[in-house]
Structures are given as structure tokens and as C-alpha cells.
Structure 1
């Protein structure tokens, strides 16, 4: 089969959408399919443009308030030329920006079935950026986008039910997985912990964008409450974003490690004692699975990845409100015996989540869309 993936974010950008899209692409290739990726050109790509026959680069622009991220500009003519030459059996549109809209229009005009990915809660972001009156408008805009495709892929049953109730058509669950060989407790690093001046107090970690939509004020309050019980506790931030400078200035004892990738990220995760994830705007939250795979008990709200995979009191804690989140952070952070028991259980809970199975499910969804559209298959995988 031939598949095209259209996305406005992709590594070396570091965010959940970019990493998820790359994993899906690699999974399809591993199954023997031909995959063409269409995405904006990044500065880091300039030397690779002429060499990468599997990627079509389009023009992009910096995302406001996120100078490290870009979005794709409309590229209808370029996309139609790409689809005409590559003849994909189906396409996957991962993002709702101008490039994504262009892709859906081109696919519809050419009779190519398209699945879309619901990766980001832009409607919820309206609350975080003081625009609550725009939340319903944003949701309607997203519904209009996704309903132009033949399927909307979501990572959880909860989100599937929610979007179906909101008028989204053909919502299909595509589960997520985690690389448990990469994220592993054995990567715990005593040297790294010494660099953080981690003594008897627990190391609390947050991994993700340092931005308003991540509900970071609650993270700070939960940590300070824990610190009253455990004065030696340390708060380590992995990632970057628009709120980093202000947080660093207001809290000079916080440890900011910046963006971490690959083996370094695995070491950071495994070297923590407790993972706090206060966000309420995620569609999933890959970092929850990465923390669990690393043997790090997690406190999160009862939705997304945590609802799907984290059992309250066994792998960490599921909070229903802010006081509960803070109380759980204090209880787990101040009890090393409980954390040790949860660490083992958390690791065991995600060992069955295999990326290869996600790739197989993704392949099946796209294959089904191609069959429904009566597309003659350009290539049949042997995997």
C-alpha cells in the first residue's frame, strides 16, 4: 500500500504530536508500505531537502508564542501534484492548520480517502489563554475540519465518546503504546541525580511544554505542599516553552534541564521519584506512559492516558480536582515505600503496550478506508 502523511509538526520538533506521527510513519514502513510525508521545512532540514525522496517539504511560518514550532502554509497545488505522482491509497492528516485544510481539500477533489488525527485540544486552550468565549467556536471549527475526512482517529475511549456526542462523525479509537525498552528503570542515573543535588528528598519531575495550557500553577502549588513535608524535595523540569523564564525567575530553586531527546530523556525519566502531570488539555499524554514504563509513580487527573492505563493507588494516583491532586502529590512524595511498590506495578502495567500493534491497527484503518473508497491498491505489504 501507499500512504501519505500530512503534518505540520515533526521531529526535530519535540512534542507529543510530532513524536506520535513519526512513530506511525515508521510503523507503516516497518510493515512494508511506501509512505510519503508532507510537512513544513525546518532550518534543520535544509541539508536534507535534496536527499529525502520520501518527504515533500512545503513552506511554513513560526507559530505565534512558540518560536520553536512552525505551521504549514496552504499548499493545495503542491499537494495535488504530490498525490498525483505518488498515488496514495489513503492519507492521514495529523494537524488542523492551513496545510491540513489544504490536504483535505486536495484529497476530496482527487477522491482519496483521508483519516484525520485529533491530537490537540485547541478548544480547551481557549480557557488557558483567557478566551473562554471562543471555546465553542474553536470546537465547531475542529468539527468542521475532521468531518471532512472519512475517519477521525483518537487515542482513548473517553475522547471517542465525547467527540461523538459533540457531532464528530466516524470517530475511531487508535490506541497508543510506549517503547518499554527505551523507557526503562535501569536507566536511572546516580550522576544525574547528584547534579540535581538529590539527597534523601524525592525528585519530582515534569516533562512537557512549559506553557499556560499545561496547568503549571497547580504543579508548583503541589510541589510546594510536598516540600513542606520533605524539605529536600527537588522539582526538575524537562522541556521548554514561553513560561520557563518567568518560572525560573520566580523560583530559583527549580531545576530546568531544557529539551531532552533519546537516551538522555530516558535517563531523566528513570532518575525521578515522582511524576506530576497536572494538564487538563491533553488528548492523551504520552509522557504518562513513558513515566510508568520508567518505573516512576504518577499523579495525574482522571482522563486521557491516565484513565486508560493508570490504576489509582496501584501505579500512582488519579485526581478528580485540584485539592485531590495536591494531596496525592504530598502522600506519594513523602512515602518512599509506597513509591517503590508503585514503581514496579507501573512498569508491569505497560509492558503489554507494543508500538508494532499500534502500527498494525493504523494500517488496518487506512486499508479499510481505501477499500471503502474502491481505490486500486498501489502496493500490498508483505509484513
Structure 2
């Protein structure tokens, strides 16, 4: 069996209606699979005006808007018509990308039809509750996720640090790696554009501390703002450059009125924006990989990030940036001040990050998951099955 024999049914809670790192990775994966001769059919909620065109065949599933986050859709079921569509497609493996209703129903369907199923892990959903005053629900979320992932034949994490966390949480017997790649034509140091910076009011000799991503509280916007406040109180000269949009945009603008907000950027424009920063500050603990961290490194920037899943596998502390205990405001401010005041340190860390990012090519990355598909199918054909129960104990 090889890649041309693969028939993959992919289930995603958000394939293309809101742009984020997870669904862009899935679209790149589908594009690679199709180029290699595999067959893929994608099942996900759809909207009239998606953020970008889908790669491959996309079949819409019923969904409702999520209260308080209306830009997102919550799938509610796999109706009989969709089940018939899946049956006609005749997949030989299921791939689920998030532990919500659609994912659960797809796993149940795969097990009913005796098909292997794998899950890719894209974000730390259990941590989201911390940002909305609901931290007490985190143990319940972990238990629900454990039940979901243990019903799959294997799960794939985007970084070794995330894979290790999943093992410690007893999420699966079989944890593989499907990391993320970088478009090295877009993210590179020579995309830096001082004229573009000047147009935003940032002088050539000002040190721009960047943020890239959706403006949502779970990205650590409160920690980001508090650390910048520390720099202001210390009298450290800097500018803040924010790239992205999102529902917390007004909150962030009010919190950092001195910052420059460049709005949403994509493709070469995003590459220009990132390279035109002087460092990236990423305090988030919700990422499983940290696409923006890798993009900044490829652009020659030092990275100050939370020592958490994702960045912990990318940033070499003291070499390509600084890793700081999550939520440690003073520690983040110290790291930012170091790079604000030391141009040689910025240049050395940026060059180290650029070299480290060279090994992340999308085709090689996606081939790792193709190899994982084939391995899981072979194991199933040899008689290996995912456990029917959830026998893995978990203790804090």
C-alpha cells in the first residue's frame, strides 16, 4: 500500500470559514495529499463568505453559531445524508482535527464501520477556560478530551513538547508527530520594509515589539499588555506593532493605546509585516506548535515566548530568544528589555532562529503524517485495534 491508495475522510470544526493556523495546516495537508495521488474528502461547517477558498472537496455539515463567538460554528451532527456521502466515498481512514461534536460523531462512525481513525491535535482547548473565568472546568475538559483521544487508533501532535504533555495526560497509547512547516518564500529576513514601517509611524531606529495572531484573550493579550506596561514604567524605548484582528481587538486597543495596529495581513503582506518587526513577543500557552513563532524565526527575529508547548520545542533559550515562565510579567519584561537595549543580541538571536527554521519544509512535514496514515492502516490490517474502553489512568 502507498499514498495513492489512501482515501481519507477529514473532519474539521473549522476548515476555512475563519482563518487560523490549524485550518491553514489542514488545507496544506490536503493539497499535498492530492498532489501525491491520494483521495480526500473534507467534512466541515461552511459559510457564505469563508476566509479563504477550501483546498479539495468540502462537504458542509450542520452547525450553529457559538454564543459569544459568533464567527465560529459548532457542528451539531452527522446527518444521514452526510453518512451516505461518506459511505459512497469509501474512506480507508478517518482523520479528525478537534474534539467537538463532529469529531466525536466521526470517531463513533469509524468504529462502527471498523475503519481506523487518527486525530491531529492543534490547540490546547482545556486552557481556554482560564481566560474566561471558568478555570474550574479545566479538569472536566481534560476528562472529555481523554475519552475522545483514547477512542482513536493514534493521535498526532505538532511538537515533541506537546506530544510529551499528551503522554503525561494519558491521552493515548500512540502519540506521533505531525509538525508544521514554513513558507520560506514568504517568511525571510529580506522581506523587511522600512518604508512600510515609516508609513505606520515607526521610525527606522525604533525597536518594534511585535504580536501576530487573532486578537482573542486566549492568546495571552492580558499578559502581553502587562509586560508592555512594565517596559513603559522602566522607561525602555520601544514601539508595539500588532498584526491581526479579532473579537478582543477593541479591548486590546484600549489597553495599549500607544500601539500601532496594522490589521489583518496575509501572504507576502504578512511576511513583510513580520520581517519589519524587531522581535516577536508570544505569551500564549494555548498553542500546540506556535506557527507565528516559527514564522518570526524564519524572518530573522528573536522570540520572547512563554515556556509552554509549541514555542518550547522551537526556541532555544538564550540562543534564538528567551523562554519565560507563563504569566511571569517581570520575566517577560526583562527579556523584552534585553532585546530592546542590545542590538547585537537581537541580531545574533535572529540569525540563530533563521538557521533553526530552515529545516521546516511543508512537503517533508506532511509526508510524516502520510507515513503515519499508512502505518495505522497496516496495523489495523494486521489486527491491531484502538481500545474499546478508556483504561489509561490519570493522576496529577
So what's the TM-score if we normalise by structure 1? 0.91
Match of 1:59 in 2: 62
Match of 2:200 in 1: 196
Across the two proteins, how many residue pairs are aligned to each other? Answer: 373
Structure 2 unaligned segments of length 5 or more: list them. Answer: 1-5, 383-396
1:172 and 1:57 map into 2 onto residues whose CA distance is 29
The 1:330–1:203 alpha-carbon spacing in structure 2 relative to 1, beyond 3 Å, is same
Give the superposition deviation at 1:46: 12
Are residue 340 (structure 1) and residue 343 (structure 2) matched?
no
Equivalences for residues 249-260 of structure 1 within 5 A: 249-260=254-265
The 1:48–1:246 alpha-carbon spacing in structure 2 relative to 1, beyond 3 Å, is closer
Give the superposition deviation at 1:47: 12
The 1:103–1:80 alpha-carbon spacing in structure 2 relative to 1, beyond 3 Å, is same
**Is the 1:316–1:342 contact (alpha carbons within 8 Å) kept by the matching residues of 2?**
yes
2:29 and 2:23 map into 1 onto residues whose CA distance is 10
Q: Deviations over 1:4-27 (max 9, x none)?
A: 211011235221211121122122
The 1:335–1:229 alpha-carbon spacing in structure 2 relative to 1, beyond 3 Å, is farther
**Is the 1:91–1:366 contact (alpha carbons within 8 Å) kept by the matching residues of 2?**
no
Equivalences for residues 1-383 of structure 1 within 5 A: 1-44=6-49, 54-169=57-172, 170-199=174-203, 200-227=205-232, 233-320=238-325, 322=328, 323-374=330-381
Give me the CA root mean square deviation: 2.2
Q: Deviations over 1:124-177 (max 9, x none)?
A: 112221112111100001111111211111112222222222221222222222
Give the superposition deviation at 1:190: 2.0
Secondary structure of the 2:44 match is strand
Give the superposition deviation at 1:348: 0.9
Q: Deviations over 1:195-225 (max 9, x none)?
A: 2211122111111122221221221122233
**Is the 1:230–1:334 contact (alpha carbons within 8 Å) kept by the matching residues of 2?**
no
Secondary structure of the 1:304 match is coil
**Is the 2:194–2:276 contact (alpha carbons within 8 Å) kept by the matching residues of 1?**
yes
1:262 and 1:8 map into 2 onto residues whose CA distance is 23
The 1:282–1:53 alpha-carbon spacing in structure 2 relative to 1, beyond 3 Å, is closer
Match of 1:379 in 2: none
**Is the 2:119–2:155 contact (alpha carbons within 8 Å) kept by the matching residues of 1?**
yes
Q: Tell me: higher relative CO, structure 1 or 2? Use CA pairs within 8 A at least 6 residues apart.
A: 1
My pick for the range that moved more, 118-127 or 269-278, is 118-127
So what's the TM-score if we normalise by structure 2? 0.88
